[in-house]
């Protein structure tokens, strides 16, 4: 187990498009373990491998608040999007910023688990939002891309001032 270093906006590596995992093996499973540990430590409710500088299509989420619903998705693909939800989102790679983003509130997602087995699941509410947020990361997209250019400039300035401090604050709010 190891804590991984989380990249922060505007690091260009967050803009990479992650590649599908071709073979799920022990190193994939180790990555998943380390990502869970890093996400829980931050603390956050979701993490994409690209945020720890590994451009592979791997995400982990746990929206339970008590570490009871860990979910790892490898090569995830959303097959159905329904409804609209607008939630305050944060991101471990954009520390201290929370903004409303509109997303589908019900999704169906297909993925592989860490044993290489395919599964299909439905998700709604916070879990649906979290999965969409993490899959965006795999495509090099951040939640602040949905905001106006003006807001993004303010965020860039704000993060520039505070420097690259580690996340792990604002515990009262969920950080995806």
Catalytic positions are 134
Place of tokens 């996400």: 39
Phi-psi region for residue 43, left (φ > 0), alpha (ψ -120 to 50) or beta?
Answer: beta
Q: How far is the CB of 30 from Zn ion (least distance, A)?
A: 22
Q: Which residue is nearest to Zn ion (CB)?
A: 91
Residue 95, SS3 per DSSP: strand
Question: Between 105 and 134, whose beta carbon lies closer to Zn ion?
Answer: 134
Return the number of the residue (31 or 176) whose C-beta is nearest Zn ion.
Answer: 176
How many angstroms separate the CA atoms of 149 and 129, rounded? Answer: 22
* Residues 99, 151 contacting (CB under 8 angstroms): yes
**Which tokens in the block code for residue 59?**
């995400």
Is 31 or 130 the residue whose CB approaches Zn ion more closely? 130
**CB 85 → Zn ion: shortest distance, Å?**
17
CB 90 within 8 A of CB 173: yes
Contacting residues toward Zn ion, per CB under 5 A: 91, 176
- Min. distance of Cβ 134 from Zn ion in angstroms? 7
Least distance (Å) between residue 91 CB and Zn ion: 3
Q: Are 157 and 149 in contact (CB under 8 A)?
A: no
Cα–Cα distance for residue pair 10/22, rounded to 1 Å: 29
Structure tokens at 148: 């106006």
């Amino acid at each position: 187990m190891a804590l991984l270093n989380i990249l922060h906006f505007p690091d260009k590596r967050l803009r990479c498009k992650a590649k599908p995992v071709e073979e799920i093996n022990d190193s994939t499973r180790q990555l998943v373990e380390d990502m869970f540990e890093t996400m829980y430590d931050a603390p956050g409710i979701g993490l994409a491998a690209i945020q720890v500088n590994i451009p592979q299509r791997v995400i982990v989420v746990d929206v339970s608040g008590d570490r009871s619903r860990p979910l790892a998705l490898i090569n995830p693909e959303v097959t159905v999007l329904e409804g609209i939800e607008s939630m305050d989102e944060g991101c471990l790679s954009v520390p201290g910023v929370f903004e409303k983003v509109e997303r589908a509130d019900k999704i169906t997602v297909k993925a592989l688990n860490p044993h290489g087995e395919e599964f299909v699941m439905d998700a709604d509410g916070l879990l649906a939002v979290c999965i969409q947020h993490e899959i965006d990361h795999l495509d090099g997209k951040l939640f602040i891309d949905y905001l106006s250019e003006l807001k993004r400039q303010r965020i860039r300035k704000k993060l520039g001032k505070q420097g690259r401090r580690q996340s792990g604050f604002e515990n009262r709010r969920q950080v995806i």
